[in-house]
Structure 1
Amino acid sequence: MRFTPERIALTLFTLAVVALIAAPLVEVVIRSLEKQTGLTGHVWSGANYQQLKASEILSSARNSVVIALGSMAVATVIGVGLSWLVTRTDLPLRRAFEILNLIPFFLSPLIGSIAWTYLADPRTGFINRLARSAGISHGAVFNVYSTLGIIVVLGLFLVPFVILLTGAAFRQMDSSLEHAAAACGASGWRTAVRVTLPLASPAIMAAAILTFVMAIEDLSVPLVLGYGNGIQTLSTRIYDAVQTFPPNYNFGAALGCVMMLITALCLYLQRRAMRDRGYVTVTGKGSRAEPLRLGRIRWWAFAAELVYLLFAALLPIGILTLIAFSKRWTGTVDFGDLTLDNFRALFGKGSIVRTAFLNSLELSALCACVVVALSVVLVHAIERARITGRRLFEVCLTIPVAVPGLVLGVGLLTLLLKTSLFGTLWIIGVAYVVRFLPFAHRSVSAAFLSVHTELEEAARTSGASLGRYVFRVLLPLVRPGLVSGWLLVFLTFMRELPMSALLQTTGTQTLSVALLNSRSFDSPGVTAAFTLLQAAVLLVAAAVFWTITTRRDGASSDMAAGL
């Protein structure tokens, strides 16, 4: 294999990106094995891991596992059911539901958890007050400040991930298998349970494991709903270790290593399951995917769709709107008490909303450009130039997928503590790039794979340089995929919380961090107005994303590729 200047440059570039990814992870491992002595000294020690045996840490680990398993069960059962309904059946308005079901994906668990504090607070929650007024209950019908409350809220907002990951499997399935079962006298329900679900089981298992990983590393929902009520998880323990004064970075790093091991093991099991259970559901014969007729349960399925949208989108957004326009919130609706004062307060004197919004907008736009540009070069190096060691580089580039954002934040915080980046907006930008590069890389790779290498060979044969081929041939062809990838990571950055919360300082708060702080220091009306503002920003960005990607019928596939 020839070592041309182009290949050498691409190899060095890829090595530099891998080093950027590896540095904070190595820092976390080193820090976990050190014990601070004095103000600046450190000695090698296993004391941090000894602390993990403490009863409160074991209790937090147990809470994390219970919440993750519960959220996984909620998200998987609901997500698989809804995905099957909109892709394989004659559900009314199924095309509209295919879009509406993804609304919680474009919001965030943080927005959802804040909304549910107004819906299901034991004393002033709208649902509980309504139940007491109707004589249904004398106490709380649903207490959101509980382990069950965390599980339900987090599970509801993880449902779209299951829908995205299983939807492709259901769409590509050979419908003749279901028709054969129906011809043998099987009912629609029996066909789904005995034929459709087993064939889609690899995708379902992959989605379940991914939601478990996302639930166990989530910070926002346990922090909003559990932290103040004594329910600690591993993620809130890491947040505590770094945010308390003086910060205990070493113990936070040890907790981070435990979380890395858990997520890495889960993702290994996911890959193993997908490899060992590769069922063929797309045949060489043409088979029009006719929808399965639901018969008598058709309208019950329609009602189930509406119930999910009610609790995952309509009620949260509705209660936020109601409180945002109210002078005060006591759990009851008073339409004569409406005001715009909460929105005025958001941008009034002393408010950091404008600064936080500009910080998020600047970071998200710039970092989205960076990760997409890096991904273009990396995909070209690995898939087109086929540099030496490309398979190893591919594995290294996927490592951040197995690293929770909190852990990466701890690594970058300690690594850059004494540099000029510390305390600036750009340390958060570095975290965004490192953490979400694999997601952009997958979206860009999917776009590049749609362009055959014959075009490059033809351009080179005609005397075109690499740069001319890239800018005149390749980029115009993959531009739709790059744009959708950019919008997808932009949305992700705008709603990101864990790393931003660890790395922010005065003046560098992002929208999510400022919203989290608003819940602690502002009135319910101002917090609701702030939450509604972020929700509106995210939904507008989502609408742009959907409009652009659906021009080429690829919105769901782009999001699934990114995941």
Structure 2
Amino acid sequence: MIAGGHDLIGWVAGVSLGLIVAVPFVFIVLQAIFPELGRGSLAAPLRHLGRTLGDPELLRLTGHTLVLGLGVILGCTFVGVPLAVARALFRVPLALVWDVLFLVPFMIPPYIATLGWIMSLQPRGYLQQLTGVNLGPLLFSVPGMIVIMTLNVFPVVYFAVSRTIEAVGTRYSDVGRVFGARPVRAFFRITLPLATPGLAASLLLVFALAIEEYGTPAALGRRFGFEVLVTGIENRISDWPIDLPGAAILSLLLVGLSLIAFMIQRRILVARNYDTVGGKPHAKLKRPLGRWAIPVTAAFAVVAFLATGLPILAILATALSRTLSGGLKLSNMGFENFVEVFHNTGGALQALVNSLSLGVGTALLAGALGALTAYAVEKGRGRGRVALDVLAMLPSALPGVVVAVGMILAWNQPALPFTPYNTAFILLLAYCCILLPQPVRYATAAFQQIGDNLEAAARVAGAGPLTVFRRIMLPLILPSLVTSMLLVFAVASRELVASLLVAPVGMMTIAGFIWRQFDQGSVGLGMTMSFIAIVITTLIPMALIALLRRFAGERFTGLH
């Protein structure tokens, strides 16, 4: 696939990406075209297409999906942009503390945070017990679901926009003010337009995350009849009668919406020039907030509490409650649920071991494949580099539910002599497909910083491509690669939708255990596992990164 001395690495990466990424996606397309594919027949092509596209349910699911995605965009704009502007341009008290607290929602899986919100706001929930206020009607509504999803993903906008505006600085708006523009006008006409790349990228990413999210619509939306494309796909492959062609068509529609979002972002960015970095250094001094210090700090505190504090407190309160009916009373608090988890009640310990093992396996597999792919793309010379790059980034446009459907369609064919379907390996493949873009991005960025002279010198000394990769390139990119692998471990250990759809019979994961406990009414056990999962998958990666930075010195300055 890659010409020259990189042939072997290119072929290994190409074949691996083909099996993990291309094959499932191709089978989704084939299943959408040939409804009898599962029986080994190519008869009656497109027969299912008209019936699925003409189903009024499809229009309802698509409309709900767009409402949810656009609503979350508006919510993140309302919450994230003002906070980002304040963080970028002014000296906000405790700024680093807010940054850390706004990172925590990334570490809490959306479905777990949503379960915490349900426990807090449902009728006779924690809020009503403490204050007498019942916000159940708001919770079980479209605006309520949008608010919860906004609090889960607004940090995407906050960090992107704050860093972009920080790079732009105030020098351009200061020039505008010299020419008579008021501060507000200078900001909206100069600073904010120059921050368009970060704003557009973050908002379109928010849209993609919102329409692809399964946990919140499944846990909350279904309770008031608000189905979206993701839950519609899951219904078609989990409820009888099974409708694989319909699931494939809905999957392609969902992928299409994601691609449209990224195309809009691309169109916005290429339409104008947003260069703001010249050859001269400029000061990045931030202005004092003055009389606005207290209101701005209060706004940061409220958002931090709602996005981070409240879900974690609700999860911990439920985990410590002996019975839900006992309420928030000291006499009802204890560690019985933790004892039951560590006594393997309901297979809790086995689920924990399974998920952590799969997380480690996924991190190793995705890290190795990401490094090989990035090396072949960045250091190779053949035309196959483009194909590898496209395959490596394709999972970014594939929602987890689409990947799960593709795995089912690809590896559940009766003609296959051997299949990973209904084994733990199918989960490993699904997780790797979903999370592969992370190590590829990190490794690619690292390879771009390595000049060709090192590789050329090694070749002159007689080293082959594999030796160069193993002895020179891999050690140089190791800091970035380790960072990405820790992120992959954290996400894979608690991944939900693939765990529910393709887990083999009898195998339980953390996400599957939590989901089943809520279905069975054992909410305390479910929340206990949620809390344990958050602690393990957040603290372990953070602790490892801190240790590596401390003891490996400059070699690991890329870990951040």
TM-score, reference length from structure 2: 0.91
Code of the residue aligned with 2:452 in structure 1: it is T
Letter in 2 for 1:444: A
1:22 maps to 2:22: yes
Equivalences for 1:535-550 in 2 at 5 Å?
Answer: 535-544=534-543, 547=546
> CA 1:27–1:321 in structure 2 vs 1: closer, same or farther (change >3 Å)?
same
Asked if 1 retains the 8 angstrom alpha-carbon contact of 2:371 and 2:439, the reply is: no
**Offset at residue 288 of structure 1 (A):** 2.4
Name the aligned partner's letter for residue 320 of structure 1.
I
Change in CA separation of 1:57 and 1:555 when aligned onto 2, cut-off 3 Å: farther
8 Å contact kept, 1:327–1:338: yes
Letter in 2 for 1:28: I
Aligned to 2:67: 66
- State the secondary structure of the residue aligned to 2:35: strand
Gaps of 5+ in 2: none
Give the structure 2 partner of residue 9 of structure 1.
Answer: 8
Compare 546-555 and 54-63 and name the one that shifted more: 546-555
Unaligned runs of 5+ in 1: none
Aligned residue for 1:362? 357
Corresponding residue of 1:90: 91
CA distance in 1, matches of 2:428, 2:446: 25
| 1:422-452 deviations in Å (ceiling 9; x for gaps) | 1111101111222222222111111222222
Compared CA separation, residues 481 and 292, structure 1 to 2 (3 A):
same
Q: Which amino acid aligns with 1:53?
A: G
Alpha-carbon distance in structure 1 between the residues aligned to 2:407 and 2:295:
50
Are positions 1:428 and 2:427 aligned together? yes
Query: What's the secondary structure of 2:493's corresponding residue?
Result: helix
Give the TM-score, by structure 1 length. Answer: 0.90
**Cα distance 1:58–1:93, how it changes in 2: closer, same or farther (>3 A)?**
same
More off after superposition, 191-200 vs 60-69: 191-200
Shift of 1:293: 2.6
- Distance of 1:64 and 1:550 partners within structure 2: 42
On the 8 A contact 1:107/1:495 being kept in 2, the answer is no
Is 1:265 aligned with 2:289? no
Q: Distance in 1 between matches of 2:338 and 2:73?
A: 36
Q: Equivalent residue for 1:249? A: 244
Mapped partners of 1:557, 1:217: distance in 2: 30
| Distance verdict in 2 for CA 1:268–1:151, change over 3 Å | same
**What CA distance in whole angstroms lies between the structure 1 residues aligned with 2:156 and 2:38?**
46
**Alignment partner of 1:421: what SS?**
coil
Query: Residue 539 of structure 1: CA displacement?
Result: 2.2
Measured in 2, the distance between the counterparts of 1:70 and 1:342 equals 37
How has the CA–CA distance of structure 1 residues 503 and 397 changed in structure 2, closer, same or farther, with 3 Å as cutoff?
same
Residue 451 of structure 1 aligns to a residue whose secondary structure is coil
Residue 189 of structure 1, CA deviation: 4.8
Deviation at 1:234, TM superposition (A): 0.8
Letter in 2 for 1:445: T
CA deviation after TM superposition for structure 1 residue 403, in Å: 1.5
Q: Alpha-carbon deviation of 1:487?
A: 0.9
User: In the aligned structure 1, how far is the partner of 2:400 from the partner of 2:343?
Assistant: 32
Report the 3-state secondary structure (helix = DSSP H, G, I; strand = E; otherwise coil) of the residue aligned with 2:373.
helix
Q: Distance in 1 between matches of 2:2 and 2:411?
A: 38
Aligned partners of 2:354, 2:18: CA distance in 1, in Å?
Answer: 27
Higher alpha-carbon deviation: 507-516 or 149-158:
507-516
Question: Structure 2 counterpart of 1:112, which letter?
Answer: A
1:40, distance to aligned residue in structure 2 (A): 7.3
1:534 alignment counterpart: 533
1:341 maps to 2:336: yes
Residue of structure 1 equivalent to 2:505: 506
Q: CA deviation at 1:65?
A: 1.0
1:465-498 deviation line (CA, Å, top 9, x unaligned) = 4344333332332221111111121122123212
Question: In the TM superposition, what is the alpha-carbon distance from 1:283 to its structure 2 partner?
Answer: 1.9
Check conservation: 2:518, 2:526, Cα contact below 8 A. Answer: yes
Displacement of 1:116: 0.4
Give distance in 2, aligned partners of 1:61 and 1:555: 45
Match runs of 1:378-527 below 5 Å: 378-417=373-412, 418=414, 419-527=418-526
The one-letter code matched in structure 2 to 1:228 is R
Q: Is the contact between residue 427 and residue 503 of structure 1 (CA under 8 Å) also seen in structure 2?
A: yes
Structure 2 contact 236–246 (Cα < 8 Å) conserved: yes
Deviation digits for residues 300-346 of structure 1 (CA, Å, limit 9, x no counterpart)? 11111111111111111112212211222248421122121111222
1: CA distance, partners of 2:555 / 2:37: 55
Structure-to-structure mapping, 1:177-188, within 5 angstroms: 177-181=172-176
State the match for 1:277 in structure 2: 272
Match in the other structure for 1:31 = 31
Amino acid of the residue matched to residue 47 of structure 2?
Answer: G
Q: Corresponding residue for 1:172?
A: 167
Mapped contact 2:479–2:555 kept (Cα < 8 A):
no
2:142 is matched with which residue?
A: 147
**Offset at 1:174?**
4.1
Contact 1:235/1:406 (<8 A) preserved: yes
* Structure 1 partner of 2:127: 127
Q: Secondary structure at the match of 1:143?
A: helix
Q: Deviations over 1:219-243 (max 9, x none)?
A: 0000000113322111111111111
Residue 378 of structure 1, CA deviation = 1.5
Count of residues in correspondence between the two structures: 552
The one-character-per-residue Cα deviations of 1:197-239 (angstroms, maximum 9, x if unpaired) are 2111121011111111111111000000011332211111111
Contact 1:128–1:141 (CA under 8 A) maintained in structure 2: no
Structure 1 residues 45 and 53 mapped into 2: Cα distance closer, same or farther (>3 Å)? same
Counterparts of 1:285-296 in structure 2, within 5 Å, are 285-296=280-291
* 534 and 192 in structure 1: CA distance in 2 versus 1, 3 angstrom threshold: farther
Q: Using the alignment, how far apart are the partners of 2:9 and 2:500 within structure 1?
A: 34
Counterpart code for 2:127: I
Alpha-carbon distance, 1:557 to partner: 8.8
RMSD, aligned α-carbons? 2.8
C-alpha separation between the residues in 1 aligned to 2:395 and 2:64?
A: 24
For the residues of structure 1 that align with 2:131 and 2:61, how far apart are their CA atoms?
A: 32
Structure 1 position 383, deviation (Å)? 1.0
Say whether the 8 Å CA contact 2:68–2:211 is kept in structure 1.
yes
